[in-house]
Amino acid sequence: MSVNADITTCQIGGNPESRGWAQEIAPDTGVVQVASYASVNDVGRAINPTIVIGQLDGGAVQGLGQALCEQMVYERESGQLQTGTLMDYALPRVDLIQRFNTQLDQSTPCLTNPLGVKGVGELGTIGATPAVVNAVVDALQRAGAGARADQLQMPLTSERVWSALHGRTA
């Protein structure tokens, strides 16, 4: 059995961006599996659409990592960093997301440069983190987690999600 979450659109800042996630939460483990990610991005003129899509998808994975796994951990008494290497610091992996559907909106070119291009390096990261967190919180709310879901803090590790779902403290 899985708890399904869908979030259809999210207006981000001044950009007409839409973000959508479909994900599943395994109730017995709290593991969040992002089944698909869809976005429409105002990119101005895309000179090389393949590179632009790659930047957007890579940024989305970075936002997913921030939401689900990345965390700096310090030893309580000494303040010693415990996650100082890539052996200890959780990074997003390719198996965290199954499918991208990235669309480019080129209908509004930038007017401040002759090429009409817009910066896209950060577009993917900006909307991804709140979209996935909101989808998890929504799924937990629908599963009866109530206030525990609203108090959940990033990263939404499997332990934290499981604890919120089952009424325990992580």
Could you give the residue numbers annotated as active site?
Answer: 122
> What is the DSSP track for 66-109?
HHHT----B-TTT--BS--STTTS----GGGB--EEEEEE-SS-
Structure tokens given for 139: 């799924």
DSSP class of 125: H
The strands making up 3-7's β-sheet, listed across from edge to edge, are: 3-7, 18-25, 32-42, 100-105
Half-sphere exposure of 132 (CA within 13 A, CB side): 33
